[in-house]
């Protein structure tokens, strides 16, 4: 993926970041190219240095999507099938944490759908994870849609549930 200075990206659990610069830095005595990211929600001087030659870390940077692409992502991302969702509360909590830690928008959307329309009664920990996923998605969605954090889950569920013709 070719990224450019000034571009907005989603970076893991850091949320929306602007690529402030792309330059060589020498942190270990050897110069390497780095993407220098600044989280947009951070009012301080936080910077994230992502080695440009580390495919795994660069791969966790996602371009912001358009409104149409976000709506398509919501529609196309399924809930995790109930037979694949752990039955044990601890195992479900662990799975929620894994999905959150990924920072991936499709994992977060899938988590929300699984908890809210997955066909089982969610635990308090699952509900908390669902709200955390919505908060993580809100940064990107608020740049495209005029939504508040409280409107995130209804927006996703509205795109998920079939409309009934009257």
Answer yes or no: are the C-beta atoms of 143 and 101 closer than 8 Å.
no
Please tell me the distance from the alpha carbon of residue 15 to that of residue 138, in angstroms, as a whole number.
Answer: 9
Q: Which residue has the tokens 């030659």?
A: 53
Q: 8-63, which class in CATH?
A: mainly beta
- What confidence tens digit (pLDDT) does each residue in 109-153 have? 999 999 988 777 888 999 999 999 998 888 888 888 888 888 888
Q: What is the CATH code of the structural domain delimited by 67-160?
A: 1.20.58.1290
pTM metric for this prediction: 0.76
Express each pLDDT in 7-40 by its tens digit.
Answer: 999 887 788 899 999 998 888 888 999 999 998 8
Q: Given this model, what pLDDT does residue 1 score?
A: 66
* Domain ranges across the chain: 8-63, 67-160
Reference 114, options 78, 70, 72; nearest CA is: 78
Alpha carbons 51 and 44: distance in angstroms, whole number:
22
């Amino acid at each position: 993926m070719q990224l450019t200075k000034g571009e907005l990206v989603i970076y893991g659990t850091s949320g929306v970041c602007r690529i402030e610069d792309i330059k060589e830095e020498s942190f270990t005595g050897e110069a390497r190219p780095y993407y220098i990211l600044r989280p947009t929600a951070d009012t301080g001087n936080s910077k994230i240095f992502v080695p440009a030659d580390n495919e795994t870390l660069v791969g966790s940077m996602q371009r912001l999507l358009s409104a149409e692409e976000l709506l398509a992502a919501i529609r196309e991302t399924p809930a995790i099938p109930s037979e694949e969702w752990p039955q044990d509360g601890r195992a479900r909590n662990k799975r929620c944490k894994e999905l959150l830690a990924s920072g991936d928008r499709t994992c977060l959307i899938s988590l929300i759908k699984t908890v809210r329309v997955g066909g089982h009664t969610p635990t308090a920990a699952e509900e908390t994870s669902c709200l955390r996923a919505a908060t993580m998605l809100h940064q990107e969605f608020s740049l495209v849609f005029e939504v508040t954090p409280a409107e995130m889950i209804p927006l996703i569920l509205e795109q998920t549930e079939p409309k009934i013709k009257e």
